[in-house]
């Protein structure tokens, strides 16, 4: 099974299609498929749809990947935990998706080993966990098929001795510790960039994609959805987008769009968990994440009952800790993590760490988002309650043709669930012929033969000065797209660090010129991870805003507002910070 290779000419022409804003392209035609929402699910769906030869539009109300997808814990799960439930179907589908991402986006996804400390000889002992991990390895023997770079292959389960565990992770409880069983999952380098690479790949094959365009309501004629009434949030202009099929992939906002427009509900989709994790300033072993057995908190509100695992994960030289699940009935626009909750989460993690206490002021970033806690079958016909994405064909459920809803439950499943959604589209549009297998097709940027050689082509002047190895970061974020920085004269001249920052001027220029970045947040949270693990400092943000001002003609007031809106995202001594940036309208008027 070979990943489809892309020849150099094709790659160049695909990169040539830039993400420039041309709203009239949305108005001028009837699309086969219009996707509402540019999170992980919408982006994957756009890629699936163009691969089938459909004319495709995607609109995103904010920035690509700025919703739940930007707030994730960054794992692409291989499904090992489903072994516990003996749910082999989910185990295999999760594993298949993890392998697909390692294959098609090898620059943005890498394996990460997870050490699970073992105690005694019972259910938490090496023998029991080892047998489980071995069973997982046997059940997933084909998981590395088509993944050629050795560093991108999922290694088999291993064991670690007690002393090594204590040396590597000083915070693990030593009482009755026997060592650790080690399994692997995959970690996304930067989830919004992975979302964006699906968007870019879709554009490279002709999709018409715009951020800051919001679907306000569906256009219905009799019992058929014909498109949406949309609004360009940068200008306020309203217009119609016509399409044979609308795929509502608005994440936790999907239901509200349907309800507001149609006055009806999507059955059983309405229970959400607010998942939360946070980044703390503290070095950790870069090679391993650690799973610690938490204790039950929020009695009655915590979905995963009993002592569930909390994970301490290395990310950008810091530690990412989570995930907490709490049933949440407020709007996705109103997601907050209260100070009380944050302190309880801290108490819980501190309660299971030994010899180390995480202080509140070590928290650099809080991520939270709504994830559905419900399920449907694969055809969208029968809904039941579980932990799968909601795929709803409104023709079957509401007697309304032309509308499909896909509310994703795990970033991991975005590609696979999009394939399922497209199967429904194929039937409706009576498509025949072969379908490219996107689990084997490299995304734009993914065609890297030799990561080290690619890194060595980047000027060594980018080394040092900052906390991140910028040459490795460029390779991880852009993959073969690094060529663009080296060959495009405008960008090559700007391939230098913004003073004391882990970003180059060339990245800012590229984001604004070719990647539809409109705000400072678009650049520092999503096109690059400069601020994704916490505040890089006001001087750095101001320098980036100055560069964007030169490119976009911002006033001084706008630049200041942009910096403040980014800063509002970070925790203060008394507040966990905003989960997203302020509405775009409050910035564009400045």
Please report, as ranges, the residues that interact with ligand FAD according to CB under 6 A.
36-42, 59-62, 66-69, 71-77, 214-215, 249-251, 253, 257, 275-277, 322-323, 367-369, 371, 408-412
Angstrom distance (rounded) from CA 477 to CA 443: 12
Q: Contact at 8 Å (CB) between 398 and 381?
A: no
Q: Could you tell me the smallest distance in angstroms from the CB atom of residue 308 to ligand FAD?
A: 14
* Cross-strand partners of 370: 274
Looking at the Cβ atoms of 254 and 480, the one nearer to ligand FAD is 254
E strand or H helix at 40: helix 40-51
- Secondary structure percentages of the chain, helix, strand, coil, to 5: 40, 25, 40
Looking at the Cβ atoms of 72 and 184, the one nearer to ligand FAD is 72
Looking at the Cβ atoms of 38 and 536, the one nearer to ligand FAD is 38
Q: Could you tell me the smallest distance in angstroms from the CB atom of residue 33 to ligand FAD?
A: 15
Closest residue to ligand FAD: CB criterion: 39
Q: Could you tell me the smallest distance in angstroms from the CB atom of residue 191 to ligand FAD?
A: 7
Q: Could you tell me the smallest distance in angstroms from the CB atom of residue 8 to ligand FAD?
A: 32
Task: Please tell me whether residue 217 adopts helix, strand or coil conformation.
Answer: strand
DSSP-derived secondary structure for 306-317: SS-EEEEEEETT
Looking at the Cβ atoms of 65 and 446, the one nearer to ligand FAD is 65
Close Cβ partners of 10 (under 8 Å, ≥ 6 residues apart): none
Surface-to-core class of residue 16, CB atoms within 10 Å of its CB (0-12 exposed, 13-18 middle, 19+ buried):
exposed
Q: Could you tell me the smallest distance in angstroms from the CB atom of residue 388 to ligand FAD?
A: 11
CA-based nearest residue to 485, from 474, 470, 472: 474
Looking at the Cβ atoms of 62 and 394, the one nearer to ligand FAD is 62
Looking at the Cβ atoms of 42 and 445, the one nearer to ligand FAD is 42
Q: Contact at 8 Å (CB) between 265 and 259?
A: yes
Q: Could you tell me the smallest distance in angstroms from the CB atom of residue 251 to ligand FAD?
A: 3
Q: Contact at 8 Å (CB) between 283 and 272?
A: no
Q: Could you tell me the smallest distance in angstroms from the CB atom of residue 16 to ligand FAD?
A: 27
Q: Contact at 8 Å (CB) between 89 and 152?
A: no
Q: Could you tell me the smallest distance in angstroms from the CB atom of residue 533 to ligand FAD?
A: 14
Looking at the Cβ atoms of 147 and 249, the one nearer to ligand FAD is 249
DSSP-derived secondary structure for 144-183: GTT--SGGGSPPPPEEEEHHHHHHH-TTS--TTEEEEEEE
Looking at the Cβ atoms of 71 and 184, the one nearer to ligand FAD is 71
Looking at the Cβ atoms of 244 and 274, the one nearer to ligand FAD is 274
Q: Could you tell me the smallest distance in angstroms from the CB atom of residue 303 to ligand FAD?
A: 13
Q: Could you tell me the smallest distance in angstroms from the CB atom of residue 80 to ligand FAD?
A: 13
Count Cα neighbours of 252 within 13 Å in the Cβ-side half-sphere: 25
> Within 10 Å of residue 484's Cβ, how many Cβ atoms?
18
DSSP state of 497: B
Looking at the Cβ atoms of 35 and 454, the one nearer to ligand FAD is 35
Looking at the Cβ atoms of 378 and 483, the one nearer to ligand FAD is 378
Looking at the Cβ atoms of 408 and 466, the one nearer to ligand FAD is 408
Q: Could you tell me the smallest distance in angstroms from the CB atom of residue 445 to ligand FAD?
A: 20
Q: Which two tokens stand for residue 137?
A: 């390895």
Q: Could you tell me the smallest distance in angstroms from the CB atom of residue 252 to ligand FAD?
A: 6
Angstrom distance (rounded) from CA 542 to CA 549: 10
Gap between the terminal Cα atoms of the chain? 53
Q: Contact at 8 Å (CB) between 508 and 495?
A: no
Looking at the Cβ atoms of 214 and 284, the one nearer to ligand FAD is 214
CA 589 to chain CA mean position, Å: 30
Q: Could you tell me the smallest distance in angstroms from the CB atom of residue 265 to ligand FAD?
A: 16
Q: Could you tell me the smallest distance in angstroms from the CB atom of residue 450 to ligand FAD?
A: 29
In sequence order, which ranges of 405-457 are alpha helices (DSSP H)?
A: 414-428, 451-456
Task: Please tell me whether residue 248 adopts helix, strand or coil conformation.
Answer: strand
CA distances for 206 relative to 147, 426, 479, angstroms? 28, 19, 21
Count Cα neighbours of 314 within 13 Å in the Cβ-side half-sphere: 17
* Cross-strand partners of 274: 326, 370
Angstrom distance (rounded) from CA 417 to CA 403: 16
Looking at the Cβ atoms of 284 and 418, the one nearer to ligand FAD is 418
Angstrom distance (rounded) from CA 529 to CA 325: 25
């Amino acid at each position: 099974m070979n990943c489809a290779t892309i020849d150099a000419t094709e790659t160049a022409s695909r990169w040539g299609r830039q993400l420039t804003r041309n709203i009239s392209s949305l108005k001028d035609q009837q699309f086969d498929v219009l996707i509402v929402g540019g999170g992980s699910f919408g982006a994957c769906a756009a890629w699936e749809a163009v691969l089938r030869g459909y004319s495709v539009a995607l609109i995103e109300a904010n920035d690509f990947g700025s919703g739940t997808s930007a707030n994730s814990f960054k794992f692409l799960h291989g499904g090992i935990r489903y072994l516990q439930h003996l749910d082999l179907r989910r185990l295999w589908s999760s594993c298949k998706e993890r392998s697909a991402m390692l294959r098609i986006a090898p620059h943005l996804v890498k394996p990460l080993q997870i050490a699970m400390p073992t105690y005694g000889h019972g259910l938490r002992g090496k023998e029991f966990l080892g047998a489980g991990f071995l069973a997982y390895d046997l059940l997933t023997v084909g998981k590395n098929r088509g993944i050629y770079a050795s560093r991108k292959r999922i290694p088999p389960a291993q064991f670690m001795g007690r002393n090594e565990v204590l040396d590597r992770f000083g915070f693990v409880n030593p009482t009755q510790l026997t060592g650790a069983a080690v399994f692997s999952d995959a970690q996304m380098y930067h989830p919004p960039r992975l979302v964006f690479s699906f968007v870019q790949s879709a554009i490279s094959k002709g999709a018409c994609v715009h951020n800051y365009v919001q679907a306000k309501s569906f256009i219905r004629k009799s019992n058929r959805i014909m498109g949406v009434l949309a609004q360009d949030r940068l200008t306020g202009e309203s217009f119609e987008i016509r399409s044979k099929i609308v795929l509502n992939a608005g994440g936790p906002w999907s239901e509200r769009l349907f309800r507001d427009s149609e006055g009806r509900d999507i059955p059983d989709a309405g229970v959400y968990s607010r998942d939360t994790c946070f980044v703390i300033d503290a070095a950790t072993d870069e090679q391993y994440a650690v799973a610690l057995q938490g204790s039950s908190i929020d009695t009655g509100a915590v979905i995963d009952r009993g002592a569930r695992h909390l994970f301490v994960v290395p990310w950008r030289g810091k530690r990412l800790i989570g995930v907490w699940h709490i049933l949440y009935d407020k709007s996705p626009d109103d997601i907050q993590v209260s100070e009380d909750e944050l302190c309880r989460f801290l108490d819980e993690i501190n309660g299971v760490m030994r010899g180390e206490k995480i202080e509140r002021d070590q928290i650099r970033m809080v991520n939270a988002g709504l994830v559905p806690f419900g399920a449907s079958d694969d055809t969208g016909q029968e809904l039941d309650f579980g932990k799968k994405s909601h795929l709803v064909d409104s023709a079957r459920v509401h007697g309304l043709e032309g509308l499909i809803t896909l509310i994703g439950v795990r970033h991991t499943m975005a590609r696979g669930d999009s394939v399922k959604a497209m199967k429904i589209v194929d039937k409706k549009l009576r498509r025949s012929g072969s379908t490219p297998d996107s689990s084997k097709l490299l995304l734009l940027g993914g065609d890297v033969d030799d990561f080290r050689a690619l890194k060595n082509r980047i000027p060594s002047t980018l080394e040092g000065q900052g906390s991140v190895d910028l040459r490795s970061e460029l390779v991880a974020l852009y993959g073969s797209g690094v060529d663009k920085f080296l060959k495009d004269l405008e960008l090559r001249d700007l391939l230098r660090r913004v003073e004391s920052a882990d970003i180059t001027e060339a990245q800012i220029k590229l984001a604004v010129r070719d990647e539809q970045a409109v705000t400072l947040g678009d650049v520092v949270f999503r096109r690059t991870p400069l601020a994704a693990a916490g505040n890089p400092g006001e001087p750095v943000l101001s320098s980036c805003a100055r560069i964007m001002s030169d490119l976009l003609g911002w006033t001084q007031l706008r630049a200041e507002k942009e910096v403040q809106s980014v800063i509002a995202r970070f925790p203060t001594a008394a507040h966990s910070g905003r989960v997203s940036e302020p509405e775009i309208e409050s910035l564009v008027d400045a």
